[in-house]
Amino acid sequence: MKFSYLYVIHVCVCFLISCTAENKELEKTVSEKTELQGAVVKTDKLKAYYFPVEQFSDTVIYHYLSGDGKQEMYWVMSSIEMKGIRKFNTTVFAPDDKSGFRKIEFISEDILADGAHVNAYTEYKFDGVSRILEAVGKIQESPVFKWNQTTTEHLTWKTEQTIKENPAFLQKFSKTRSLTETDSTFVFKGDTLGCVVFKDDIHIEVINLMSGKTSVSDFYQYSYYAENTGMVKYVRTFQDNTSIEFYLTEILDVSTWREISSEQE
């Protein structure tokens, strides 16, 4: 709940006029509450650091580049209002030598009063020959971004994915997010943007339902979200301590994206 400082000032003035004798104790109490509420207000404003989905009625593309310049991703994002709920859709593409651009994943979110919740997730897996197989997720837990998350709580979203063409396949995915910094920065196009930083602990199990064998992968990443922009950078560290960094390099409109993607076909 947002805290009104004007209201606090008004209340204090009224009490100063009507009850001077008790005012010192009152000021102390109000001051303590204001400090506490101020901390809550600070984290409640995390929504300002998420993607500005209300502006994505026209499709917007975020172009991310790896730190070594060898890998890149294009996040094609759009949103639409449906039955009073803002739907936020993201499709991730990466350049591919054979097909121009290969679809990596699709995620759909509901933007609700308390945060962003995943309602659909599909990962596109290459079978090693020529087919792209859809690993469709069944959402187990949905919260992916919370507007008032504090540094002491954890946020988890989970999904179980299956492939229609491969009934032996089952993948379990979970991401647990904690808020670690609220005063970081990121330089984009010469401008220094204020950022919040999350640590995401990611756990993946791939299960062969025929043999019963399970492979497990655990890694973590630090995700940087800039005010009025959304995610601008992440640094992912794997089990072998190798890491990869992706950062936002440009924001494109849909006509530019069509030109780029058509050139690769």
Cα–Cα dist 122/108, whole Å: 9
Average pLDDT for runs of 10 along the chain of length 265: 37 38 41 36 76 96 97 97 96 86 96 97 84 94 96 96 94 97 96 97 97 97 98 97 98 95 67
**Domains of the chain and any CATH numbers:** 5-46 (no CATH), 50-263 (2.40.360)
Is the separation of the CB atoms in 173 and 161 below 8 Å?
Answer: yes
> Residue 110's beta-bridge partner residues?
87, 117
Quick one: pLDDT at residue 100? 83
Long-range contacts of 200-204 (CB under 8 A, 24+ apart): 200/175, 200/176, 200/234, 201/175, 201/176, 201/177, 202/173, 202/174, 202/175, 202/176, 203/172, 203/173, 203/174, 203/175, 203/176, 204/171, 204/172, 204/173
Give the angle subtended at the CA of 170 by the CAs of 221 and 105, to the nearest 5°. 50
Q: What phi, psi does 196 have (nearest 5°)?
A: -110, 150
Beta-carbon neighbour count of residue 11 at 10 Å? Answer: 13
